Structure 1
C-alpha cells in the first residue's frame, strides 16, 4: 500500500480526518511521555507544541519519527493512522467523515493485512479502534466501531522460550519422581536430567560416556568435551541424579 505524496488542499472529510489523527496523536503522546523513558523532556515539550499546531500530514509524520528517536517507541504504531489517511484520500469518496462506516474500515485493514504480519495487524487494529473511540468520546462522531472477530488480525501468542524458576523446579522434581517402565524411558530420563541439571547440550549428552561421570562425595562431576573439543566440567548434586542413573545403568 503506497503512500500518496499529494499534500495539497484537502477535501472536507480528509481535513476532518487529518485533524482527528493529529489531535489523537497529541493525546497519546502526552501519556506516552509519562510512562516511557525519554532523553530530553524539554525537547518533548517543544515537540508537543509542534504537534498541536501541525497542519500538514507529511510534517506530522516527520514529527512522529523525531518523537520515536527521542525514546517514545510506542509512537511507531501510529503509522497505521497515516496509512489509513492515505487509503481514505485515494479510495473513499465520502463528503463528511461521519459517513464513514465499519465495512470501509475493515476493507482497509484487509488490504493492509496482505503486507503485514498477524501480530502487527493485531496492534494496528487496536490503535485504529482506540482512534475511533477517541473521536466518539471527544468529537461526538458516534462511530462505535467494534472491529471484533477480524480473523486476519487475531493476535498469535508465542510459546514461552523458557520456564520460570518455579515451573522449572516443578518439572525437575516431577521428572525425578517419574516411575520409568523400560530401559528406553530410563535412558531418556537421565538424558533430560543431564541436560537440565548439568546445562549440557544435546550433542554433549550423546557424546558423554559413563566413565566421564564421576561421583565425588556429594556431587557427580561430568567431564564434558564441548565445542571445538574444549573440555569442561559440570557438577550435579548426588541426590538429584543418583537414583535415576543407577536405575538406568543397573
Structure 2
C-alpha cells in the first residue's frame, strides 16, 4: 500500500480520522516516554508539543520517525495508522468517521495482510483495536470494534530453486510412469519432459510447434527460438 498525499483539502471524515490518529499518537507517546525511562525529557517534551500542534499527515509521520530515532522504538507500530489513513482516503467514501464499520476495517486488514508477515499483523490488529478503543473513550464514538477471530493465512514459502540429482531422477521416473487420462494431462506431461530433458525454457516449450521438430540422423532436433529471437537446437 502506498501512502497518500498530505492533508490539503481533506474531507470531513478524513480530517476527523487525522485528528484522532494525531491525538492517539500523542497519548501513546507520553506513556512510552514514562515506561521507557527516557533520559532527555527536554527533547521528548519538545517532540510532544510538536505532535500536538501537527496539522499534516506527512509531518506527523516524520515526527514519528524522529521519535523512533530517539530510542522510542514502539512508536514504529503506529505505521499501521498511517497505512489505514491512506486506505481510508483512497477507498472509503463516507461523510463522517462515525459511519465507519467493522467490516470496512477488516477489509483493510486483509488487504494489508497480503504484504505483511503474520507476526506483524497480530501487532497491527492490537494497535488498531487500541486506537478505536481510545476514540470510543475520549471522543465519544461508539465503534466498539472487537476485531476478534481474525485469522490471516500464512504466506507460502518459496520452493527451492533447484532439485538435487536424486530428487530430479525420482521426479522424471514418476513423470514418465504416470498414466495420463486426458489430452490436457498428455500435453502437460510432454511440456514438463521437454523442459527437464530438453533444457527448454518455459516460454520456449509453450511456443514450440510441430514444424520446429525435425528428424536428422535418427535423432529429433528441436529448432528453438530463444531470447532475442536467437535460434538454437536441442538434440533428442
TM tier relative to shorter chain:
0.5 to 0.7
Displacement after TM superposition at 1:81 (Å): 0.2
Quote the Cα distance in structure 2 between the aligned partners of 1:93 and 1:183: 50
The Cα of 1:192 is off from its aligned counterpart by 46
Query: Does the aligned pair in 2 maintain the 1:94–1:100 contact within 8 Å?
Result: yes
Instruction: Please give the residue correspondences for 1:1-250 in structure 2 after superposition, counting only pairs within 5 Å.
Output: 1-152=1-152
1:118–1:229: structure 2 CA closer, same or farther, 3 Å change rule? same
CA contact (8 A) 1:106 1:147 kept: yes
Cα deviation per residue 1:6-27 (whole Å; 9 max; x = unaligned)? 4311000000000000000000
- Aligned counterparts of 2:209 and 2:95: Cα–Cα separation in 1: 79
CA distance in 2, matches of 1:188, 1:37: 64
User: Deviation at 1:74?
Assistant: 0.3
CA RMSD between the two structures? 10.4
Runs of at least 5 residues in structure 1 that lack an aligned partner in the other structure = 235-248
TM-score for both structures, normalised by structure 1: 0.61
Counterparts in 2 of 1:158 and 1:127: CA distance versus 1, 3 Å: farther
Does structure 1 retain, via aligned residues, the 8 Å contact 2:129–2:146?
yes
Bigger shift: residues 127-136 or 177-186: 177-186
- 2:78 touches 2:127 (CA, 8 Å); kept in 1? yes
- Which range moves more in the overlay, 44-53 or 34-43? 34-43
Q: Once structures 1 and 2 are overlaid, which stretch shifts more, 221-230 or 117-126?
A: 221-230
- Distance change in 2, residues 1:136/1:179 (3 Å): same
Q: Does structure 2 retain, via aligned residues, the 8 Å contact 1:223–1:232?
A: yes
Cα drift, residue 103 of structure 1: 0.2
For residue 152 of structure 2, give the secondary structure of its aligned residue in structure 1.
helix
* Further displaced range: 13-22 or 191-200: 191-200
**C-alpha contact (below 8 Å) 1:47/1:67 kept by paired residues:** yes
Q: With structure 2 as the length reference, what TM-score do the two structures score?
A: 0.64
SS in structure 2 of the partner of residue 153 of structure 1: coil
Counterparts in 2 of 1:72 and 1:191: CA distance versus 1, 3 Å? farther
Asked whether the equivalents of residues 6 and 57 of structure 2 are also in contact (C-alpha less than 8 Å), the reply is: no
CA distance in 2, matches of 1:90, 1:207: 41
Bigger Cα displacement from structure 2, 61-70 vs 6-15: 6-15
Distance change in 2, residues 1:227/1:99 (3 Å):
closer
Deviation of the 1:38 alpha carbon: 2.9
Corresponding residue SS for 1:147: coil
Q: Report deviation, 1:5.
A: 2.2
Q: CA deviation at 1:4?
A: 1.3
Measured after TM superposition, the shift of residue 29 of structure 1 is 0.4
| C-alpha distance in structure 1 between counterparts of 2:54 and 2:88, whole Å | 20
> For 1:71, what is the secondary structure of its paired residue?
coil
| CA shift for structure 1 position 168 | 42
How many residues align? The count is: 236
Quote how far apart the aligned CAs of 1:55 are.
Answer: 0.4
User: CA deviation digits over 1:24-51, x for unaligned, max 9?
Assistant: 0000000000111435211000000000
Which runs of at least 4 in structure 1 moved beyond 3 Å after TM superposition? 153-234
